[in-house]
Amino acid sequence: PPELSILNNCSPGQLEGLCSFLQLSTCPEPFLVRFCSWLLALTPDLSYSSAAVLAEQLFLRRVLSLSQPPSRHLMAALTSFCSNYSHPFCRVLVAVVLQEPGEGAEQTKLMCELVEECLEPHSVQLVLSQVLEVPLSEKLLPVLQAVLGRQEVLPSELLDLLVLTLCQQAPAFSTSLNYAKLVMAVLTAYQSQVS
């Protein structure tokens, strides 16, 4: 709809107010899919800050409250949004999910699925750097595994940080099968760069 061009003319504060007025954080998921498809058709693309506001308003509450696998509508909306705005999505949503205490099994599975199937290579690197900024936990190991499964070429400083983190955290994961798999994946994928 042509009315959506207003999204390009709002400040982040105005956009938050508009999202609140339209109740986008609680809108039905089929509408969310349609709204995200409209966002892809916007020209010009949304600014980084506007996309970050929308990522938070559209998805944060929904993702944090997951207690079962996301619906196909929610996955379609996430995939659609990430196809054009994966960097602000990662900055807003992935960072919060990674820092959430507790198990967060559904959130972790969702992060893995997004890393494996939706995010651009530079956003995959961003997810890796975000994971390495927080203390490693059993919940985060599958996310790292998903990042490595993408077989992206990592910048040397990021690879060095990953290896250093794995070495430093080894005593805490002495009985973890996921940790062992992760170390093997690093050694397999980057054997020429890991001494």
Q: Model-level pTM?
A: 0.84
Full domain range(s) for residue 51? 2-140
Q: Output the domain CATH number for residue 84.
A: 1.25.40.480
Q: What is the model's pLDDT at position 121?
A: 87
Q: What is the number of residues in the chain?
A: 195
Measured between alpha carbons, how far is 188 from 37 in angstroms, rounded to an integer? 39
Peptide bond into 44 cis (omega under 30): yes
Q: What is the model's pLDDT at position 101?
A: 62
**Does residue 63 lie within any of the structural domains?**
yes
**Does residue 166 lie within any of the structural domains?**
no
**Does residue 113 lie within any of the structural domains?**
yes
Q: What is the model's pLDDT at position 59?
A: 94
| Number of domains the chain is built from | 1
**Does residue 38 lie within any of the structural domains?**
yes
What's the token pair of residue 37? 């498809």
Q: What is the model's pLDDT at position 88?
A: 92
**Does residue 105 lie within any of the structural domains?**
yes
CB 147 within 8 A of CB 131: yes
Measured between alpha carbons, how far is 178 from 153 in angstroms, rounded to an integer? 22
**Does residue 181 lie within any of the structural domains?**
no
SS3 state of residue 105: helix
Q: What is the model's pLDDT at position 1?
A: 79
What's the token pair of residue 126? 């961003």
**Does residue 100 lie within any of the structural domains?**
yes
In angstroms, the Cα distances linking 74 to 118, 132, 151, 160 are 14, 27, 27, 36
Give the rounded distance of the alpha carbon of 121 from its chain centre.
12
pLDDT profile of the chain (195 residues), mean per 10: 85 92 92 93 90 94 91 94 91 83 79 89 90 87 90 87 91 91 89 76
